[in-house]
Amino acid sequence: MPAPHAPTSTDATSQDVVPPTQARTTPNSPAAKRTTLNHLQALGTPPAATPEYLAHLSPPTPINIPRLASYLQDPPHQPFVHHLLSGLSEGFKIGHTGPQVPQEFPNLPSAKENPSVIDSNMLKEVSLGHTAGPFLSPFPNLQVYPIGAIPKKHSS
């Protein structure tokens, strides 16, 4: 008969057992869906705070911009260096010269069929800082593109 193993920090104890509650939620339960949507709505940026919120956004980059700037203090092409450093810290201009008008496209049918998946993914992206918003009131020239849900193999 094998010797009993010594308890480790990963062994369950009676203190680890959580009694069941009636309010228990699963990821796809209506309560979990409402919680995700409520959390996403709570992150909404009010119209008065939108300009300040946008002013503090900077694109994520693994590049140490101040260090790069110190290496490029005396290059022969200062306009290019300025373009590079401002693009890395503020985002690059894409060169659009057409009219600046607001546009909004409807979401794909798959997004309407899976709203809890969309809400959950949007909350994750906003919480990680990968997506700006949500905004309670659109601002001039806002471009809203459609989103959808694509099922993945071996996923619920």
Residue 13 lies in a domain: no
Please name every residue paired with 45 in a beta bridge, in sequence order, or none if there are none: 135
Phi-psi region of 136 (alpha: psi -120 to 50; beta: other; left: phi over 0): alpha
User: Is the residue at 66 inside a domain?
Assistant: yes
What 3-state DSSP class applies to 103?
A: strand
- What type of residue sits at position 136? L
Quick check: is 109 in a domain?
no
Q: What is the mean pLDDT of the chain?
A: 73
Domain count, the chain: 1
pTM to 2 decimals?
A: 0.51
C-alpha dihedral over 108, 109, 112, 118, to 10 degrees? -50
Band of residue 32 on the pLDDT scale cut at 50, 70, 90: low
In this structure, is residue 1 part of a structural domain? no
- pLDDT value at residue 82: 92
Q: Does residue 47 fall inside a structural domain?
A: no
Per the domain annotation, does 83 fall within a domain?
A: yes
Q: What is the pLDDT of residues 43-67, one digit of tens each?
A: 777 777 777 777 666 677 889 999 9
Half-sphere exposure of 3 (CA within 13 A, CB side): 3
Q: How confident is the model at residue 4 (pLDDT cuts 50, 70, 90)?
A: very low
Residue 115 belongs to some domain of the structure: no
Residue-wise pLDDT tens digits, 65-102: 999 999 998 868 889 999 999 988 888 888 888 888 88
Q: What DSSP character marks residue 49?
A: G
Mean pLDDT of 99-117: 88
Amino acid of residue 40: L
What's the first-to-final CA gap in the chain, in angstroms? 42
Tell which residue, 1, 27, 16, has the closest CA to residue 114: 27
How high is the pLDDT of residue 66? 92
Q: Is 108 exposed, middle or buried (0-12, 13-18, 19+ CB in 10 A)?
A: middle
Q: Which domain holds residue 70?
A: 61-89
Lookup: tokens for 93: 């201009």
Phi, psi angles (nearest 5°) of residue 103 = -140, 140
The answer to whether residue 71 sits within a structural domain is yes
Amino acid at 34: R
